[in-house]
Chains A and B, each alone.
Chain A
């Protein structure tokens, strides 16, 4: 059987099962496993051979479901999730939000905007969008809900804010991109700054317009606050500020890696909660238990996506597609449009890193052949991959939010909110495509 036929049936099966409300992790892992098995069983070209299909399939499952989880650097995700739970129970996050609320009391959608700036700040210390979304989601969403923000607004704000994680440096995706294109990592980091800020501005505008059109989604309180209230509220926020100083100062000062910052955040929240007598045994227990179940559900999806990446690699469909595009003799803008479309489609199903590994070996020579700037293209690729993190059906950031955001911020609700942001986000993408200078002005001025 032809690999592309197996692949086509696989993707159709994924869509049907998702519509039938089968959990995304079940769908990805099972369909990818069956497709991989069929690929190897038919590989010899002499019809179906069960035993020739079995051993390679089990090997690929093992390497994707085990080796992928057996990771030091990914440990930051469960640790940041746990830190978020502990910070919530020890009211570290509540206090800083009270401060923000007092300060932003007159600004419609103020807490959502504060969350976006929080995400932007967090992006400057972590290279991972999932880590960004998991830590900010646990802190911001319950607070926004407490002030009666609409769950769609609350959860989608943080899901989108999390996508700044890989655009604003440092960024794991830029480092991998630099490796595949032999371009300068520091130039890529510099190139990501303005697009990151532009994206952030786009999100803020989205919130302002959305709240303007539907004031009910972000109720304004009518209380009046004095300067003294503001100072007092800010004073209460010291543990949160301290945590930020530890994490940001630790990473920039060269004392911590991002993974270590996650571990330190967790311990800080735990120790602070114990010393201030705000944490009891029951809270600690439920923080860690919830973290374990949420992380397990999340990584099960990610492992399923990894098996899918292996299968897509086997089919050679990305290679074939890019060859097809190369042969079509397109104008530069047409080429970019087709490539952007490809990334958006792959981003619907795969994780950013997997998508990069699958596509860059074939896409980059094409872009180079057109004489386009590889640093600028890196920004475009990362931007596209970040959009993939929030698009259904497989939007990892949205699933992170669904795991950490509490009862009424499920994936479906978050996807509904995300749809509003995506209009502006795609406009930002078009701007970045049309004006390469937005990406290149900072790196060029540093030369």
Chain B
């Protein structure tokens, strides 16, 4: 394996490889989300032109944009977690000692898991339901429900996975010691 950090202990090589793959998937997911935002703008602009210039109606606009919204807003969650980019309110923690901060960082990730895991599980059930029933949105296209539900599931599974990685990293290399992950 082309591990650039050749001095890393052997037993850490495999997780590092996994981490790199995870990071690459997160990057790809975020890029897809970015693309979805561009796509919804382009599609809505087409709708404006169709209505005002061509005088034709665009069918299923709300459904398509809704699907793109799911991709845009759920796929990047793991990346946000990796960058610890979730919004916090600083009230008094800056007064806490370092060893408390380590515990707090682990607590953050645990609470995050309690938020993400049920949503991921609910997403799995919803995807299974949409897939097996063949449910669709009312419209001209009768657009199936499963692609959006799959994107939702994928985003939350990845998000949960990343939180687990952060938890392990927090426990192993506590943040603030200079060796924190991500």
Contacts and interface: CB of A to CB of B under 8 A. Distances in A.
In the complex they form, do A and B come into direct contact, defined as C-beta atoms under 8 angstroms apart? yes
B87 A24 contact: yes
Contacts of B72: 78, 292, 295-296
B97 interface: no
A348 B152 CA distance: 29
Contacts of B87: 23-25, 297-298, 301, 399, 402-403, 411
Contacts of A72: 61-62, 65-66, 69
Contact of A288 (B38, B70, B83, B85): B38
Contacts of A255: 48, 52
Chain A interface category by residue count: 35 or more
B88 interface: yes
A3 interface: no
B96 to A, nearest CB: 9
A411 B91 CA distance: 11
Contacts of A26: 86, 108, 111-112, 114-115
A300 B93 CA distance: 23
Given A25-B87, A263-B45, A292-B72, A19 B37 contact: no
Given A255-B52, A412-B90, A75 B69 contact: yes
Interface string A273-299: 000000000000100110111011111
B48 A263 contact: yes
A78 B108 CA distance: 26
Contacts of A402: 87
B35 to A, nearest CB: 7
Count chain B CB atoms within 10 A of each CB in A263, A304, A412 and give the residue with the most. A263
Contacts of A213: none
B13 interface: no
Interface stretch (B2-10, B17-25, B116-124): B116-124
A289 B62 CA distance: 23
A27 B104 CA distance: 13
B69 A292 contact: no
A411 B65 contact: no
Contacts of A98: none
B76 interface: yes
Contacts of B93: 19-21
A403 B85 CA distance: 9
B90 A21 contact: yes
A289 B31 contact: yes
A18 interface: yes
A34 B107 CA distance: 16
Interface stretch (A63-71, A154-162, A175-183, A423-431): A63-71
A90 interface: no
A61 B44 contact: no
A44 B90 CA distance: 40
B37 A291 contact: yes
B54 interface: no
Given A292-B76, A296-B76, A59 B115 contact: no
A276 to B, nearest CB: 19
Interface string B25-52: 0000011011111101110110110001
A-B pairs with lowest CB-CB distance, top 10: A23-B86, A288-B34, A29-B115, A263-B44, A30-B114, A412-B90, A292-B33, A70-B66, A72-B62, A30-B115
Given A24-B89, A78-B40, 9 more contacts: A25-B115, A57-B118, A78-B37, A79-B41, A82-B41, A292-B75, A293-B80, A300-B86, A415-B89
Interface of B: 30-31, 33-38, 40-42, 44-45, 47-48, 52, 61-62, 65-70, 72-77, 79-80, 83, 85-93, 104, 107-108, 111-112, 114-116, 118-119, 121-123, 125-126, 148-149, 152
Interface of A: 17-30, 33-34, 57-59, 61-62, 65-66, 69-72, 74-75, 78-79, 82, 255-256, 259-260, 262-264, 266-267, 285, 288-289, 291-293, 295-301, 304, 392-393, 399, 402-403, 410-412, 415
